[in-house]
């Protein structure tokens, strides 16, 4: 398995734009694909915004020119065949809809050269849910990034039983070469490592609040002081965004999750308090 040098990212939304920009910033030649030219215009604006953030936050040695120069490593196209013609690796970051992703892999499997490795950034699907639609299960796996990847710079790499170990190793190396800390996951697991730890913590915090055991400030303070963590669960909710928290809670059949969804809607979302992004959530910013 040759070293990965060229990357194509499918989907230029919240995560796809960050994945593409981070790789371009690290010196990779990156092609970003999305459905039409109008969406690509929005992608251009996202990339410019990311360059500003990388420069302002001095990500690694982002001297004046480096964040701006990364933009030159990015090519945008709405033609899928053109996008993948020379890709060593394709990372898929299209919406979290099973049938849509399967359809993307069906088309991709026909268009991409035999050498190309496919990787999904899906947060909630397992790569096994998609592998049979790729036409190349041995060259398919998951690489899962966290939002705000210039700060939360991990990449969880998770294969299926069919993934060729040499392909897995090449993707781990790609993650490292693109400035991320690879997290090697040995067995398929919904939620990877990060969300397998984080989701139960957030659910427990929501339970303590709804049962009237303690308020968010007290719960967060307990977690920070007792574990040394920089943030408590309600501070994390504010960063994730309360709309996302609401969507996840309301999709769960569990009665506690439903009650938490209702609590978020009535006390925060209906009043425009969506977390850090809007300046107020459980806390004011
Ligand atoms: P998003 O809605 O912000 O972006 C999705 C992009 O995909 C849009 O630009 C859309 O135009 C494009 N798209 C739609 N159909 C397409 C198609 N057929 N081919 C190519 N592009 C298409 O979504 P997002 O939040 O970036 O999430 C994308 C993936 O990343 C999901 O699988 C999600 O689980 C995962 N993820 C998201 C986060 C997060 O915090 N948002 C974190 C980790 C992983």
Residues 29 and 87: their CA atoms lie apart, in Å, by: 10
Structural domain count, the chain = 2
- Render pLDDT for 78-94 as a digit per residue (tens, 0 to 9): 999 999 999 999 999 99
Q: If we measure between CA atoms, which residue out of 156, 143, 98 comes closest to residue 117?
A: 143
- Render pLDDT for 174-191 as a digit per residue (tens, 0 to 9): 999 999 999 999 999 999
Percent of the chain whose pLDDT exceeds 70:
99
In this structure, the number of other CB atoms found within 10 A of the CB of residue 76 comes to: 19
Residues 219 and 210: their CA atoms lie apart, in Å, by: 12
* Cα-to-centroid distance, 15 and ligand 1 (Å): 6
| Same-domain status, 140 and 58 | yes
* Cα-to-centroid distance, 266 and ligand 1 (Å): 28
The ligand 1 atom at the shortest distance from the C-alpha of residue 10 is 20
b/e per residue 173-205 (b: at least 16 CB within 10 A): ebbebbbbebbebeebeebbeebeebeeebbeb
| Same-domain status, 129 and 264 | no
CA 15 centroid distance within chain: 5
Of residues 84 and 1, more confidently modeled: 84
Domain boundary, last residue among 164, 184, 204: 184
Any domain includes 179: yes
* Cα-to-centroid distance, 26 and ligand 1 (Å): 22
Any domain includes 189: no
| Same-domain status, 150 and 19 | yes
Structural domain boundaries, residue 271: 195-278
Any domain includes 85: yes
- Contact in structure between 92 and 105 (CB atoms under 8 Å): yes
Any domain includes 284: no
Least confident of 54-68, 155-169, 173-187, 209-223: 54-68
Give the pocket of ligand 1 (CB within 6 Å).
Answer: 10-16, 33-35, 39, 93-96, 100, 104, 121-123, 144-145, 147
| Same-domain status, 26 and 127 | yes
Q: Residue 215: which CATH number?
A: 1.10.1040.10
Residues 187 and 242: their CA atoms lie apart, in Å, by: 31
| Same-domain status, 170 and 204 | no
Any domain includes 103: yes
Task: Give the DSSP per-residue string, 154-205.
Answer: EEEEEE-TTS-HHHHHHHHHHHHHTT-EEEEESS--TTTTHHHHHHHHHHHH
- Render pLDDT for 113-143 as a digit per residue (tens, 0 to 9): 999 999 999 998 999 999 999 999 999 999 9
Residues 229 and 114: their CA atoms lie apart, in Å, by: 45
Q: If we measure between CA atoms, which residue out of 1, 10, 2, 3 comes closest to residue 143?
A: 10
Domain boundary, last residue among 126, 156, 184: 184
Neighbouring C-alpha atoms within 13 Å toward the C-beta of 232: 18
* Cα-to-centroid distance, 190 and ligand 1 (Å): 18
In Å, the largest CA–CA distance within the chain is 57
| Same-domain status, 200 and 180 | no
Residue 202 tokens read as 């957030």
- Supply the pTM of this predicted model: 0.91
């Amino acid at each position: 398995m040759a070293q990965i040098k060229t990357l194509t990212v499918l989907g230029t939304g919240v995560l796809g734009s960050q994945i593409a920009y981070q790789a371009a910033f690290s010196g990779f030649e990156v092609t970003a694909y999305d459905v039409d030219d109008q969406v690509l215009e929005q992608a251009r604006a996202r990339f410019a915004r990311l360059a500003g953030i990388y420069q302002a936050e001095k990500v690694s040695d982002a001297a004046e020119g480096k964040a701006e120069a990364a933009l030159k490593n990015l090519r945008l196209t709405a033609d899928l065949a053109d996008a993948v013609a020379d890709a060593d690796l394709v990372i898929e970051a299209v919406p979290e809809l099973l049938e849509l992703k399967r359809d993307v892999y069906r088309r991709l499997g026909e268009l991409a050269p035999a050498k190309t490795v496919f990787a999904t950034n899906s947060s909630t699907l397992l790569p096994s849910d998609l592998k049979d639609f790729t036409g190349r299960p041995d060259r398919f796996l998951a690489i899962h990034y966290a939002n705000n990847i210039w700060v939360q710079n991990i990449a969880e790499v998770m294969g299926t039983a069919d993934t060729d170990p040499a392909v897995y190793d090449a993707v781990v190396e790609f993650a490292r070469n693109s400035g991320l800390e690879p997290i090697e996951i040995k067995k398929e697991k919904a939620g990877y490592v990060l969300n397998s730890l984080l989701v139960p913590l957030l659910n427990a915090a929501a339970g303590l609040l709804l049962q009237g055991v303690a308020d968010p400030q007290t719960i967060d303070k307990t977690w920070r002081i007792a574990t040394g963590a920089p943030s408590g669960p309600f501070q994390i909710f504010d960063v994730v965004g309360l709309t996302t928290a609401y969507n996840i809670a309301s999709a769960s059949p569990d009665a506690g999750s439903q009650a938490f969804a209702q609590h978020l809607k009535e006390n925060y979302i209906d009043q425009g308090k969506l977390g850090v992004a809007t300046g107020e959530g459980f806390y004011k910013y």
